[in-house]
Amino acid sequence: MHRAKLCRLFATLLLFCLALPLQAQQFERVGNYQIHYSAVSTSFLSADVAAEHGIQRSPAMALVNVSVLEEREDGTTRTVNAPVSGTVGSVGDSSPASLSFRSLRTGDSVSQIAVFRIIEDEPMRFDLEVRHDRNEAPADIGFIQRFTIDR
């Protein structure tokens, strides 16, 4: 049983490492923190990984993933559990939908993920607030991405 759990954990890590570059993973540097963010269709997830993490697989659904790394003085980095809130909608939408983020832990790493419905072939605007350091104001991250629905 332990070996099976370890294999699923490795598969999850591999999935996110492979899926993120497909959508040109981006990051912003805020002080000594790197805030990484990306959005991918949930159809990229394997059925097992999606089921294990309670994520609906669908060509019409996507996942936004945010992770924060703190750069230490010795040159190493560590993952930070940074709460995220935000919205998504069409560019120019006056009432975007709220994103409901939750933590996804894999080993020592933690990401914040939220699932949302794709607006097909329209640029979608993401406005995120990332609490990378509880002693500082949250970082505002905004990006635009277009999705297509593979049928």
What does the pLDDT look like over 18-63, one tens digit per residue? 444 444 569 999 999 999 999 999 998 999 989 988 999 999 999 9
Does this model's pTM top 0.95? My answer is: no
Distance separating alpha carbons of residues 101 and 107, to the nearest angstrom? 19
Superfamily of domain 2-146, CATH level 4: Domain of unknown function DUF4426 (2.60.40.3340)
In terms of Cα–Cα distance, which of 7, 5, 17 is closest to 111? 17
> Could you identify the residue written with the tokens 């949930």?
42
Q: Cβ–Cβ contacts within 10 Å for residue 124, how many? A: 23
SS3 assignment, position 70 = strand
Asked if 62 and 41 touch (Cβ cutoff 8 Å), the reply is yes
